[in-house]
Amino acid sequence: MRASMEYLLCGLPVVSTPSIGGRDIFFHPSFARIVEPEPQQIAAAVATLIAEQIPPERIRGYVVPRVRAMRHRFQWLVQTILDEAGAGRIFAPDWKAFLAGNWLRYNTIAALLAEIEALRETGH
């Protein structure tokens, strides 16, 4: 998923194989192809996308607003959890520090809340 997002945010089209986990949530048929994991199908999809010469601005124009919306939904969810836990604070200012420290890790909600609190206490 990370590589797909890096490509999309750079305005590059994506060829992917079927997956579970959501990497295709930001795909659109005009710039992304999902094909079977067969070398010939992958090569054909890549050749097609190269030939289409898709403007990077079109890809970014589709993806960036959706990434922002997803980020806002995530921040709202974390804020809801904090509010229900009686934490009495706002999560949005902690977003960049949280993202930098958790980009490639899975966590429980309890561990996430503890890490957010630790970041807050250290002034990050």
The torsion of the CA quartet 115, 119, 120, 123, rounded to 10 degrees, works out to: 170
32 φ, ψ (degrees, to nearest 5): -140, 140
CA–CA distance, 51 with 62 (Å, rounded to integer): 20
**pTM for the whole thing?**
0.71
Number of C-alpha atoms within 13 angstroms, CB side, residue 3?
3
Interval 29-86: pLDDT, tens: 999 999 999 999 999 999 999 999 999 999 999 999 998 898 899 889 989 988 998 8
Q: What is the number of structural domains in the chain?
A: 1
Q: Is 8 part of a structural domain of the chain?
A: yes
Query: How far is it, in rounded angstroms, from Cα 43 to Cα 20?
Result: 22
The runs of H, that is alpha helices, within 32-107 are: 39-52, 56-84, 95-102
pLDDT of residue 102: 54
Q: Give the structural domain span for 72.
A: 2-88
Q: Do the domain assignments include residue 107?
A: no
- pLDDT digit string, tens, across residues 83-118: 998 888 888 887 777 666 555 556 677 777 787 788
Within a domain: residue 101?
no
| 98 belongs to a structural domain | no
Structure-model confidence comparison of residues 14 and 102, the more confident one: 14
57 found inside a domain = yes
